[in-house]
Amino acid sequence: MKASSPSGSPGEASAREWPILLLSGLVALLPYVVCHALFGRLFWFADEFELIDQFDRLGFWRWMWLAFAENFVPLFKLLWGGSVFVFGGSYAAMLTIVWLTHGLNVALLGRLMRAAGLSWVAVFFAQLLFALTPGNIETLGWSVQWSAVLSATFMLLALDCALRSAQMRAPIAWSAASALSFSRGVLTGFLTAGVFLRIHWGSLGVRGRRLAFACACVAPSVAVGFLIAVIVPSGNQSHMAGHWGAAAMFGAWYYCVNPVHHLLEFDSWGPRTTILLGLLKVALVVWSLARSRGRTRALFVALLAFDLGNTALLGIGRYHTGLLASASSRYQYGSLIAFLPAAGFLFSRLWARLPAPESARRLALASLFAVVGWSMCRQWSVDLAEFVGPRGRDAWQILLSDPDPDPHSVPGIPGLPVERAKALIAKYDLH
């Protein structure tokens, strides 16, 4: 069946929509602005010291092409390491970059949803929760997580281009950038190829042209995945014998509890809560696929594949960390992107059925969003007050104030001697 188009012209950026989308991106910066004093207490932590230590010892160019944990991310390393130099070791500047990228992602999520034909009510619902939820605290409060945020930026750009235009170059380029920024960015090429071929199959002409596009789109993902398997032999993916059950359990737990567990601030971690949230999530996915058509359904299928792909990769890569780690703050970002468009679609349908005049519904919606947004911004200050201790104050005291620190107690990375960390702080003016 040929994909139907949403109202308007998805192939062109609407001049009247861009200001609204960019404004939503600015709204996403509210927690960072409101809690700037708390964010200012954060300091270089754990993997950040390891990365700086590596490029200091090995040289920037060689370091850029080496694996980082289970990631092969030369594009992220180029941008992150370059920022360390450009901004003179300022951690505040590093976090500002992360938040600006997040604001861009909020705008891009809205643009993608509009390209798929979703209403503004659905868009604002998804953008509000994605923009302001404190569930993203680790992703947006630790500069190395810029890797995941950047990869999401490129994925949103790739999918948006795939929905709006039959031009091939941009989706291929953005897909490659996503794969080179974060390990789970390897999913982007496959998602983009699927969406592009679904929407533009008839306009691509001969079969060879379609095949060439699909190969070009997924080639970077396949190459990065192969490199990860080869250059990171110590990763879980190389030692899965006897662990597939644990990986499947971790993945299932991740899929069921995220992101609603954080959004609704559940206290329970038991199987009953997990199964209930999982059933609700599956019901939402099934309903959204059944009620959508054309570009909207193509987007929902892609986001479901993205969520399931993340589930599989996290199950393999993180099963050893225990089930409770499956709901870690650092894993919320991708789950929110996968879940919120369908949740917004459902909310918009339910909201449209309210027996009230349109003007009254709009006022009520604005009031509801204002209350929810204020509540989430307030929660940021509460959560940050706990977060900045081990990530800021404690690290600062150990590395710069304690006259007699444990020589191997660098916060988050005990294998790095304190004296080495102090030398890096002095050399790169880390502050």
pLDDT for position 210: 76
Task: Tell me how far apart the alpha carbons of residues 172 and 177 are, in angstroms, rounded to a whole number.
Answer: 9
Check pLDDT > 50 for residue 393.
Answer: yes
pLDDT for position 298: 95
Task: Tell me how far apart the alpha carbons of residues 189 and 181 are, in angstroms, rounded to a whole number.
Answer: 13
Check pLDDT > 90 for residue 230.
Answer: no
Check pLDDT > 60 for residue 387.
Answer: yes
Q: Where are the domains of the chain?
A: 18-428
Task: Tell me how far apart the alpha carbons of residues 168 and 261 are, in angstroms, rounded to a whole number.
Answer: 38
Range with the lowest mean pLDDT among 143-152, 376-385, 391-400?
A: 391-400
Chain centroid offset of residue 122 CA: 20
Instruction: Quick: pLDDT tens for 34-84.
Output: 999 999 999 999 899 999 999 999 999 999 999 887 789 999 999 999 999
Q: Which residue has the tokens 């960015």?
A: 185
Instruction: Quick: pLDDT tens for 179-194.
Output: 999 988 999 999 999 9
For 331-367, give one letter per residue: b (16+ CB within 10 A) or e.
Answer: bbbbbbbbbbbbbbbbbbeebeeeeeeeeeeeeebee
pLDDT for position 406: 67
Check pLDDT > 70 for residue 12.
Answer: no
Task: Tell me how far apart the alpha carbons of residues 25 and 23 are, in angstroms, rounded to a whole number.
Answer: 5
The band of 203, judged by pLDDT with boundaries at 50, 70 and 90, is low
pTM over 0.85: yes
What value does the mean pLDDT take over residues 304-320?
A: 90
Check pLDDT > 80 for residue 10.
Answer: no
Nearest Cα to Cα of residue 51 among 60, 42, 43 = 60
Check pLDDT > 60 for residue 9.
Answer: no
3-class secondary-structure state, position 216? helix
Which tokens hold the place of 156?
């949103």
What value does the mean pLDDT take over residues 215-230?
A: 88
3-class secondary-structure state, position 95? helix
Residue 195 corresponds to which amino acid? V
Contact 341, 295 (CB under 8 A): no
Which tokens hold the place of 153?
């930026």
Any residues with CB less than 8 A from the CB of 90 and at least 6 apart, and which? 431
Backbone angles phi, psi at 71, to 5 degrees: -110, 145
Task: Tell me how far apart the alpha carbons of residues 76 and 22 are, in angstroms, rounded to a whole number.
Answer: 24
3-class secondary-structure state, position 68? strand
Residue 353 is classified by DSSP as T
Residue 77 corresponds to which amino acid? K
